Amino acid sequence: MQDPVSPLDRHQPFCFTCSPQAACFNACCRDLNQALSPYDVWCLKRFLKLSSTDFLNRYTAQSIGPETGLPVVSLRFDPGCDMACPFVTDAGCRVYPARPASCRTYPLARGVSRNRRTGKLTEQWALIREPHCRGFENGQHRTVDQWVQDQQLAVHQRMNDRMLTLISLKNQFRPGPLGPTESKRMYTALYDLDAFHAGQAATSAINPADQLGNNEPEALLQAMDWVCRNVLGVPLGEHSR
């Protein structure tokens, strides 16, 4: 049996196109364990014009990593509708402009490692060929770089890499599980961003962000730095260049 995941050089072209004309259209939007990054949550709640609290309550499930104590936020799929994504329709994704990074990246997978000494990031790419997917038939040829540009992934990668740095710092300086209070503070700051900034504004700790930029949500970067300083005791900025 062919391995469904194979390494891919970023300059090596691959053939793939997803469209309503594909026989498998929407088949990949069901029965997934789809974790959301803080930036995914920010994009989705902003597109849907919801507060972060309302978005999280309506569309997500929360859990705690048993070995780390880190909060995990996942999309809540509908068991009464063939475990469908809450945003999929017969015509496709109704939040397509704000879709999560994992949806944008598919059928590619990206792995990232950071050198602790230099801080340099190294990417590894792979191609995922699932049996149900017909997107590889008569698809358009692209390289990884072209796919990243087509899917507008650059900002997602930058923000998610910052989150990976935060997790790396946690593992390095705070090994073992976080306590419930620390985990809750981390969840609120990173995912329930509106509630976090409202609370910070009430204590005059930082200024609230009434409007966030399209390409650089400074409020989320600020919250990540707050978590590192106040939960982990490590300034994020010194490790994220």
What local confidence, expressed as pLDDT, does residue 110 receive? Answer: 95
pLDDT in tens, 18-28: 888 888 888 88
- Report the distance separating Cα 130 and Cα 18, nearest Å: 13
Asked if residues 226 and 216 have their Cβ atoms less than 8 Å apart, the reply is no
- Report the distance separating Cα 122 and Cα 100, nearest Å: 22
- Report the distance separating Cα 100 and Cα 159, nearest Å: 12
Four-CA torsion 173, 62, 186, 167, nearest 10 degrees: 30
What local confidence, expressed as pLDDT, does residue 156 receive? Answer: 95
Q: What is the pTM assigned to this prediction? A: 0.89
Asked if residues 96 and 25 have their Cβ atoms less than 8 Å apart, the reply is no
β-strand partners of 110 = 125
Q: What is the pLDDT along the chain (241 residues), one digit of tens a residue?
A: 456 889 999 999 999 998 888 888 888 888 888 999 999 999 999 999 999 999 999 999 999 988 888 999 999 998 878 888 999 998 899 999 999 999 999 999 999 887 767 767 889 999 999 988 998 987 889 999 999 999 999 999 999 999 998 998 898 888 889 999 999 999 999 999 999 988 876 665 454 444 433 445 788 998 999 999 999 988 766 555 4
Residues 6+ apart with CB under 8 A from 120: 114
pLDDT in tens, 18-75: 888 888 888 888 888 899 999 999 999 999 999 999 999 999 999 998 888 899 999 9
Asked if residues 152 and 104 have their Cβ atoms less than 8 Å apart, the reply is yes
Look at strands 71-75 and 60-64 and give their pairing.
antiparallel
Cα torsion angle, 231, 172, 161, 135, sign: negative
